[in-house]
Amino acid sequence: MVKPTLVRYDAPPFGVGELWTCGDRVLWSELPRRSESRPTSDSSHALAGRLSAFFAGAADDFADVELELDEGFYGDCQRALRAVPRGEVVTYGELAALAGHPGAARAAGTFCARNRLSPFVPCHRVVAANGLGSFGSLGLDYKRRMLALEGVSF
């Protein structure tokens, strides 16, 4: 049995991000945050370099990264959102429809708020029908910065 491993990566100027892996599979990912209590990158893991480059503006869709996906509605949303190309956005309602659940826009919003696999499952690409939407505790400026990495302005 493979034991989960914590991987930290530097993503200036976003901060330090963390992900948990089990072998080559990502189980959980936390977007980079500035914090005095988070240590800097401590891993030579291949994904650490790719994530650092992504947050510096490198084009990477992470399509080849194996993820521990959920079952049911959340898993449907994860798979649908991974198919949204870099530089494009969808509304919460469009995500729900792409996931096979038309009319479930609010549930798609809840999925995005609880996303445990960002940026591999890029919830920053999901917007409200009338504007940017939200981005939880990281805030709208963070979401704008992530969209700007992909050439999208809001």
CATH of 70-149, one of 3.30.450.20, 2.40.30.10, 1.10.10.10, 1.20.990.10: 1.10.10.10
The structure's pTM equals: 0.92
Q: Give the integer Cα–Cα distance in Å for 28 and 49.
A: 17
DSSP 36: S
Cross-strand pairs, 15: 11
- For the stretch 67-96, pLDDT in tens is 999 999 999 999 999 999 999 999 999 999
Q: What are phi and psi of 128, to 5 degrees?
A: -75, 160
Tokens of 61: 């869709």
Spatial neighbors of 125 by CB under 8 A, at least 6 apart, are 81, 84, 88, 89, 90, 147, 150, 152
pLDDT tens by residue, 2-23 = 789 999 999 988 999 999 999 8
- The domains of the chain are located at 5-55, 70-149
Say if residue 131's pLDDT is above 70.
yes
22 is catalytic: no
Give the Cα separation of 64 and 91 in Å (integer).
25
